[in-house]
């Protein structure tokens, strides 16, 4: 299934029925558009064959966007994922959080190279940690030395409030219960705790809950009407929504069960947000275009250090080198039920992908990389 649109996408979805004798105009348009992106469609199908029940990509450039889907957003039904459907974006939340921190830097309220203890005295301390030696920049870039930590939905959970919500301070305490992995600035270790501390920083400086600050400073000004940073206790996905699943896929064998429900405050400023493929593409396009933070702030975000082959870690955003010689910026996300990633290239092309499952093993990392590379390099003659 494919949908094509210009500028802000409509909610129209075309369905092609193989038994129809005469194609309707929308169906004919969809078929023609699908034929325009055969390589990306093939890459999407290869990704979905190793991913969840369904997958979709929303991509384009130069004022034009299109959407391809494979599989289904609801298991045991024929319901392709649409680009306007809500899903949990996981760690793509980190880019929104980082953008707010850089806005505070722009406003002179925070310094990137100041110690976090200057703003949150006594928070990052004990168990080998010293907040007087860890800077805001290091937290943003995952070079603080904080141990890797992902909150669990069932076992070994942080201590919750009586209503089942979680406080950022408690999440940080849980993350800091794991010993440091390096001295501050000595190495790269991806940790959700970094961004939970940054959530506390935002709350301390602004005097407002982090979900309200991100909404007021980023979501609303950009008109991201289908993007939500849910308040603690707001567990439901807005409609329309992509259904998320747990499961396994080994070759042609697969098993799916609905993803476990959890309170979004369990992930908070590290991974709590909800959005759509359309809105995520719009957000990253606006960020890279300098519409979210100042030019100086964006330059700081784009100062990277190596985080893997062809990937550089900036401040809440990653630099990806594509096969066609283009550089793209974005972030990935994964929470129970969903895996996603958005990239925006320096030539204006964009691509946002989601599949409705999160795998602990056999993650389709290579297939996702190939899919994004194919979509972003479609018109590049030098792609191998």
Query: CA torsion sign, 94 to 100 to 103 to 109?
Result: negative
Query: 323 catalytic, yes or no?
Result: no
Number of Cβ within 10 Å of residue 7's Cβ equals 8
Q: Which CA distances in Å does 125 have to 139, 171, 269? A: 14, 14, 20
Enumerate residues 6+ apart whose C-beta is below 8 A from 32: none
The two structure tokens encoding residue 358: 């999160």
Query: Is the bond leading into 59 cis (omega within 30 degrees of zero)?
Result: no
Residue 117 tokens, joined: 């203890």
DSSP character string of 186-233: S-----HHHHHHHHHHHHHHHSS-HHHHHIIIIITTTT-TT-B-PPTT
Provide the 3-class DSSP secondary structure of residue 54: strand
Residue 211 to residue 231: CA distance in whole angstroms = 6
Say which residues have a Cβ less than 8 Å from residue 76's Cβ, sequence separation at least 6.
none
Number of Cβ within a 10 Å radius of residue 4: 20
**How many CB atoms neighbour CB 167 within 10 A?**
16
Candidates 50, 91, 144, 352; catalytic one: 91
- What CA–CA distance (Å, rounded) separates 28 from 312? 42
- Catalytic positions are 91
């Amino acid at each position: 299934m494919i949908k094509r649109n210009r500028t802000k996408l409509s909610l129209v979805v075309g369905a092609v029925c193989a038994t129809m004798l005469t194609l309707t105009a929308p169906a004919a348009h969809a078929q023609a558009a699908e034929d325009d992106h055969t390589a990306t469609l093939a890459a999407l199908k290869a990704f979905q064959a190793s991913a969840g029940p369904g997958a979709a990509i929303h991509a384009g450039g130069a004022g034009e966007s299109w959407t391809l889907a494979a599989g289904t957003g609801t298991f045991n039904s024929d319901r392709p994922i649409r680009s306007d459907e809500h899903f949990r974006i996981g760690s793509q939340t980190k880019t929104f959080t980082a953008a707010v921190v850089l806005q505070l830097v722009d406003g002179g309220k925070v310094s990137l190279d100041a110690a976090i203890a200057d703003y949150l005295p006594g928070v990052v301390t004990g168990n080998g940690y010293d907040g007087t030696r860890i800077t805001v920049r290091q937290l943003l870039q995952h070079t603080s030395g904080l141990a890797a930590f992902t909150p669990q939905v069932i076992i070994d959970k942080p201590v919750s409030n009586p209503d089942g919500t979680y406080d950022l301070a408690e999440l940080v305490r849980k993350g800091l219960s794991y010993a440091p992995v390096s001295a501050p600035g000595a190495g790269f270790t991806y940790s959700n705790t970094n961004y939970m501390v940054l959530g506390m920083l935002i709350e301390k400086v602004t005097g407002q809950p982090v979900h309200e600050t991100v909404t007021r400073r980023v979501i609303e000004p950009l008109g991201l009407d289908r993007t939500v940073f849910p308040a603690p206790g707001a567990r439901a996905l807005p409609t329309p929504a992509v259904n998320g699943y747990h499961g396994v896929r080994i070759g042609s064998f697969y098993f799916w069960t609905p993803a476990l429900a959890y309170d979004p405050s369990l992930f908070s400023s590290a991974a709590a947000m909800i959005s759509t493929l359309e809105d995520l593409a719009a957000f990253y396009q606006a960020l890279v275009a300098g519409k979210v933070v100042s030019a100086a702030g964006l330059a700081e975000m784009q100062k990277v250090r190596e985080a893997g082959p062809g990937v550089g870690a900036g401040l809440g955003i990653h630099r990806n080198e594509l096969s066609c010689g283009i550089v793209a910026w974005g972030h990935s996300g994964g929470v129970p039920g969903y895996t996603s990633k958005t990239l925006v290239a320096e030539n204006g092309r964009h691509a946002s992908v989601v599949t409705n499952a999160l795998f602990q093993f056999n993650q389709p990392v290579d297939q996702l990389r190939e899919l994004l590379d194919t979509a972003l390099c479609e018109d590049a003659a030098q792609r191998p």
